[in-house]
């Protein structure tokens, strides 16, 4: 399955770009080990051009290096953002990947046939780092902590441009892990790795989970995509794999996966009716999934305008739905409407004029509910205060301290905003 995923990813990129990607960035989650027997784990190894060596009991003992003539293509470099759960529960998995990266980087091969070696040599020559630092490929949050930072910044409106989200991603996730490394500060090396990334990747193996199921998905894969675009200066492609049917492995654009999930679940009347049966909690869950649509657009710009139009029409501009939210959870629909307005104001959503006018009209109605609920207290209302590290001294100082080494070594690409 991992081999099929790797081949499908490379075939898709070659068809679109006429060449192979030199570096693929992965959001590697513990569910890959627990739910799909390491399909992405195997994909990473296949891209590197190594094969697992198995014990008789089915466990992986080590790896063997596939000769280039047998591989039939260059060895593809990888940059991995490991989830905190995988990091803390399956260190043997990322340690094997780390060993494989170092072994491949040390091969006496043409760098144009071995992108791991090419990038490691470039880092040592240009940045003056050691071989060990030049082969850091597995990153996560600081040891003992969890989270990618980008989801918090997006949901708190604590960003102005994609460059802000790129800074947050590198600052929060620039800690390297490996066989002999447990959270070494390596923010500059993460930025250097991201500068050669052409594709970011995650996958779905079951409809039990999808990319709207948690804010960590858009925060990590989306944040990594934003950072790779910033540090490479190129239009990095976000891909999504699909192994729900083992005999029919697919790799599609992230935008297509967002469309699939929105159509089959978020805007599906049967799903909405099921959520309504759960009253307050169902309303909250609908709200959360809609804020994650906004999060994907903020981080990747991969959400179609029609999706926001349909969300507004289905959840806010619909009399029956507004009544449901008013009776069960008015706070949820206020968040939905305000987040839609923020998306439009930030230029993330080119709204249909009639849809937007109706949304604004109904937000005033919703705001009146909230004022009644607040009584004598304060209510935020429809305003969104955008503040970044430049506006908050303590946050700015801590971020700049981390990012100074990054900027000293690596010039970030232009900000498309």
The per-residue pLDDT string of the chain (417 residues; one tens digit each, 9 = 90 and over) reads 999 999 999 999 999 999 999 999 999 999 999 999 999 999 999 999 999 999 999 889 999 999 999 999 999 999 999 999 999 999 999 999 999 999 999 999 999 999 999 999 999 999 999 999 999 999 999 999 999 999 999 999 999 999 999 999 999 999 999 999 999 999 999 999 999 999 999 999 888 889 999 989 999 999 999 999 999 999 999 999 999 998 899 999 999 999 999 999 999 999 999 999 999 999 999 999 999 999 999 999 999 999 999 999 999 999 999 999 999 999 999 999 999 999 999 999 999 999 999 999 999 999 888 888 877 766 666 678 888 888 888 887 888 888 888 888 776 544 444
Domain-embedded: residue 381: no
Other Cβ atoms closer than 10 A to 333:
26
Contact 39/32 with Cβ under 8 angstroms? yes
- CB distance 189 to 405 below 8 Å: no
pLDDT at 417: 47
Q: Do 368 and 224 sit in the same domain of this protein?
A: no
Is residue 76 domain-resident?
Answer: yes
Query: 274 and 208 in one domain?
Result: no
Q: Tell me, what's the pLDDT at 403? A: 86
- Calculate the CA dihedral of residues 241, 244, 249, 251 and round it to 10 degrees: -20
Residue 262 placed within a domain: no
pLDDT for 411: 61
pTM beyond 0.75: the answer is: yes
The DSSP secondary-structure symbol of 221 reads I
The answer to whether residues 115 and 211 belong to one domain is: yes
Question: Which parts of 130-186 fold into alpha helices (H)?
Answer: 131-134, 150-155, 162-173
- Signed CA dihedral, 222, 276, 365, 351: sign only: positive
Same domain, 28 and 53: yes
Token pair belonging to 113? 């046939």
d(CA 236, CA 255): 13
One domain for residues 203 and 326 = no
Q: Are residues 56 and 120 in the same domain?
A: yes
Boundaries of domain holding 202: 2-254+404-409
For the chain, the domain total comes to 2
Asked if 242 and 310 sit in the same domain, the reply is: no
Residue 416's pLDDT is: 46
Pair 199, 301 in one domain: no
Q: How far apart are CA 42 and CA 6, in angstroms?
A: 9
Same domain for 216 and 297: no
Assess whether 86 and 229 both reside in one domain.
yes
Do 89 and 196 belong together in one domain?
yes
Whether 344 is covered by a domain: the verdict is yes
Please measure the distance between the N-terminal and C-terminal CA atoms of the chain and give it in whole angstroms. 39
DSSP 113: G
| Sheet strands (E) in 154-233 | 175-178, 181-185, 199-204
Residues 151 and 220 in one domain: yes
Domain contains 385: no
């Amino acid at each position: 399955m991992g081999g099929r995923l790797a081949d499908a990813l490379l075939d898709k990129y070659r068809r679109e770009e006429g060449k192979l990607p030199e570096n693929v960035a992965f959001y590697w989650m513990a569910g890959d080990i627990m739910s799909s027997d390491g399909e992405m784990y195997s994909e990473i190894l296949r891209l590197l051009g190594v094969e697992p060596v198995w014990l008789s009991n089915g466990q992986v003992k080590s790896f063997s290096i596939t000769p280039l003539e047998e591989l039939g293509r260059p060895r593809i470099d990888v940059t991995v953002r490991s989830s905190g759960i995988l990091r803390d529960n399956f260190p043997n998995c990322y340690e094997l990947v780390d060993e494989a990266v170092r072994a491949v980087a040390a091969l006496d091969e043409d760098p144009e046939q071995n992108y791991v070696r090419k990038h490691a040599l470039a880092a040592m020559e240009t940045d003056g780092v050691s071989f060990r630092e030049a082969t850091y490929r597995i990153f996560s949050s600081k040891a003992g902590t969890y989270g990618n930072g980008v989801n918090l910044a997006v949901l708190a409106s604590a960003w102005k441009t994609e460059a802000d989200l790129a800074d947050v991603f590198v600052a929060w996730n620039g800690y390297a892990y490996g066989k002999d490394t447990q959270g070494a500060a390596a923010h500059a090396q993460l930025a250097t790795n991201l500068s050669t990334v052409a594709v970011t990747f995650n996958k779905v193996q079951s409809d039990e989970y999808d990319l709207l199921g948690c804010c960590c998905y858009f925060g990590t894969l989306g944040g990594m995509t934003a950072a790779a675009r910033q540090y490479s200066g190129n239009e990095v492609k976000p891909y999504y794999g699909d192994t729900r049917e083992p005999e029919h492995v697919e790799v599609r654009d992230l935008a297509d996966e967002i469309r699939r999930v929105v159509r089959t679940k978020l805007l599906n009347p049967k799903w909405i009716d099921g959520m309504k049966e759960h009253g307050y909690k169902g309303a909250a869950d609908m709200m959360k999934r809609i804020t994650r649509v906004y999060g994907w657009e903020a981080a990747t710009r991969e959400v179609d305008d029609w999706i926001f139009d349909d969300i507004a029409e289905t959840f806010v501009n619909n009399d029956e739905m507004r009544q449901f939210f008013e009776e069960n959870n008015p706070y949820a629909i206020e968040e939905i409407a305000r987040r839609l307005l923020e998306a439009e104001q930030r230029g993330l959503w080119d709204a249909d004029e009639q849809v937007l006018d109706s949304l604004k009209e109904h937000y005033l109605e919703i705001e009146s509910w909230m004022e009644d609920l607040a009584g004598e207290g304060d209510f935020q209302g429809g305003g969104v205060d955008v503040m970044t590290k430049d506006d908050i001294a303590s946050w700015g100082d801590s971020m700049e301290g981390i990012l100074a080494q990054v900027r000293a070594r690596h010039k970030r690409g232009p900000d498309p905003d």
